[in-house]
Structure 1
């Protein structure tokens, strides 16, 4: 750095004055460029932080500046391209001009050139990041509309000047996007759930919202078997019933649609819509209501995914499907409401009963009906449903799980331990387990017998 005073010492005063004047001008230009960098960076945050209500006010404002804001935001891709081009041009200009000044001062071949350039890199990087990025973005995020008003008109004019460059960048970005879309992404459900856990930690996100988001993420993995009404719970009408028997059953059940079978539930004849009965309520008991049955029955397999089934419901314009097993027998029934409830939770109408399917005795003891679905059982006890995967087999109910654990029909009073759960059979009939007592050992080791 001693070369500078020696150099100035050999110069006439008027030359020294002109040199310092040149450096002063270059310094002022650097400061102006840094200010431009700050304004451009801040405008990026400001424009994209505007609320829909603010944008609506700008569109109908009498102020030309606010109408310019609405015009810029109406094409966000072009706006972003313009801002990025300007920001890079300004930052490159800062680096270029500062480098030129340092080389001009100390000389290209000076021994201190390497050290000076290293220091310059650190200083310029700090100045651009702190004064050109951090401060303006924090400020504009808090005062988005005011900042947007300040920069809208200049950026609108510059976007017209830089339109050819921005257009070229946009076309290249669309080409890259199209290639990436064709290639696709392989993201597992576990990764999506992990991402969801990270992004829903905010206190503003309620538990219900988190559950809905998780249900949407897992929606495509759920099969019909997991949410269908089991065979034993299907409410269906027999073709042999007389008209008054049918009316009494419809009135008792409260459903708008009923499957109709002949002889057994495995022989579904069609679907009866209750609205089709209404014009015939005054008919005698001999009325042949069977002619009202709609014969187009939608049958689906147990392993069909519910996202595909929902599309089928929309395409066919139906709300109900009969679930069949591998032998063609009736395994259950599923409705559009069942699918929607899997996302948003239970939907109760005026006909839905609020029967309690379980009873909590104390902190560790519960009574459940054997027909309780495992997914509901785990939800009530706040445990992961995967805990039973190793022993549940194809069972979807609590009673089915116990049949898998016992490997036979248990007797009343028999107990079975699995991990921290102790299951006691409270009542059974010849075909199924009706009631179960569940005791949870909170501090017990994870074992089963």
Structure 2
């Protein structure tokens, strides 16, 4: 009996191993596997051989799992039969009737529950969570079974290919390993999370992350908001326009008629050297794009039309913001500062739990930089947008707003927007 129990436990352990390795390979990050295969060393060689033929590896794990389950079922059934026979001889009345008549059902239920919990559900959940690590850790024993069941797996694959070819007119060739955008994004996110809080992030890693997110970025996520657009009325004088160029250091200024919602175009500072007679004489057309348009499409449009800026309009046709090629490039490569850029953003950590921020700072940037865990949503991008979204209004000076474990104190605000806030992060007990 002791030997039988040991074999049953061993078969359960092997079944858990085969089930886990199967789900680990399916759930693992293919980029992680490829990188590990390039590292060199014994384990890298084993991983290369295991993943050379994915179908054969999966088939080998299935064969091993089936063999383990057959051994378990045979021996477990024998133990349960003996146990039920003993119980039948030592009991009388209702219980004898119940167990004798339901013997087969009881044996099936008991065996199935044990195998589902110990060899299917738990190992598959565990191996799925730690797929990359466990696939590498158990690569050697998996390769041993891979070689052991090689003949059986090749035969099984041959039969399945014959059936697929004759019945379904197709084949089951192993597909080449394709690394999807999602897998690359997951791998880079894992590397970013593994970096210590105070450690610098490699520019290459940051660039890859920005590039992956770039395809989903919309115009409203990158644009300069309407309230910060530098523009001039078409009826103003050239001297006023010249002074505006000098004061701001901008190379281009939007020109509108009566109000900012009626943009006519823009003027380049270089045009003033031509001594024009009026602003309209040097006015250049500007591109108009909707808020929801993807930045990558805007970049293609501006490049084809040889333009460097676009006016972002809202759903009602009003001016929502301004977008330049520099803004788009910064979305990929990070902030590009020149001699005319002014650092107007306030970003100060007072102590471990207290911060002073400009309301225009983006929520995802603050979460990534300070590990705050501020709530993120598609309906807002900035810290001010988060507060306004939650309060459904614009708080005034010295107002305090509590959002989950975050308390915001308004340090500077106007009737139309929040400028500066103090953030206190409270620990939830």
With the shorter chain as reference, the TM-score category is 0.5 to 0.7
2:221 is aligned to 226
Please tell me whether the aligned partners of residues 410 and 421 of structure 2 are also in contact (alpha carbons under 8 angstroms).
Answer: yes
The offset of 1:238, in angstroms, is 1.5
SS at match of 1:317: coil
Q: C-alpha distance in 2, partners of 1:260/1:337? A: 20
The offset of 1:379, in angstroms, is 4.1
2:281 is aligned to 291
Q: In the superposition, relative to structure 1, how do residues 209 and 301 fare at CA in structure 2: closer, same or farther (>3 Å)?
A: same
Deviations 1:100-132 (A, max 9, x none): xxxxxxxxxxxxxxxxxxxxxx9xx89xxxxxx
Aligned residues: 259
Q: C-alpha distance in 1, partners of 2:306/2:336? A: 20
Q: In the superposition, relative to structure 1, how do residues 224 and 185 fare at CA in structure 2: closer, same or farther (>3 Å)?
A: farther
1:193 is aligned to 185
Deviations 1:35-71 (A, max 9, x none): xxxxxxxxxxxxx99xxxxxxxxxxxxxxxxxxxxxx
1:444 is aligned to 428
Q: C-alpha distance in 1, partners of 2:188/2:386? A: 31
The offset of 1:222, in angstroms, is 1.0
Q: C-alpha distance in 2, partners of 1:384/1:228? A: 24
TM-score using structure 2 length: 0.54
Please tell me whether the aligned partners of residues 290 and 314 of structure 2 are also in contact (alpha carbons under 8 angstroms).
Answer: yes
Structure 2 unaligned regions, length at least 5: 1-37, 40-51, 53-143, 149-170
Matched, 1:423 2:408: yes
RMSD: 3.4
Matched, 1:351 2:340: yes
1:372 is aligned to 361
1:382 is aligned to 371
1:212 is aligned to 207
Please tell me whether the aligned partners of residues 397 and 413 of structure 2 are also in contact (alpha carbons under 8 angstroms).
Answer: yes
The offset of 1:264, in angstroms, is 0.8
SS at match of 2:376: helix
Matched, 1:412 2:397: yes
Deviations 1:310-347 (A, max 9, x none): 11121111110100000000000111111111111110
2:245 is aligned to 250
Q: C-alpha distance in 2, partners of 1:338/1:377? A: 19
Structure 1 unaligned regions, length at least 5: 1-47, 50-83, 85-121, 127-175
1:360 is aligned to 349
Deviations 1:14-53 (A, max 9, x none): xxxxxxxxxxxxxxxxxxxxxxxxxxxxxxxxxx99xxxx
Please tell me whether the aligned partners of residues 252 and 267 of structure 2 are also in contact (alpha carbons under 8 angstroms).
Answer: yes
Q: C-alpha distance in 1, partners of 2:424/2:332? A: 30
The offset of 1:361, in angstroms, is 1.8
Deviations 1:373-407 (A, max 9, x none): 3344434433467x222xxx633332222122112
The offset of 1:261, in angstroms, is 0.8
TM-score using structure 1 length: 0.52
Q: In the superposition, relative to structure 1, how do residues 376 and 231 fare at CA in structure 2: closer, same or farther (>3 Å)?
A: farther
SS at match of 1:275: helix
1:302 is aligned to 291
2:17 is aligned to none
SS at match of 2:215: helix
Q: C-alpha distance in 2, partners of 1:251/1:306? A: 30
Q: C-alpha distance in 2, partners of 1:402/1:199? A: 31
Q: List aligned pairs for 1:170-189, cutoff 5 A.
A: 187=180, 189=182
Q: Give 1 or 2 for the bigger CA radius of gyration.
A: 1
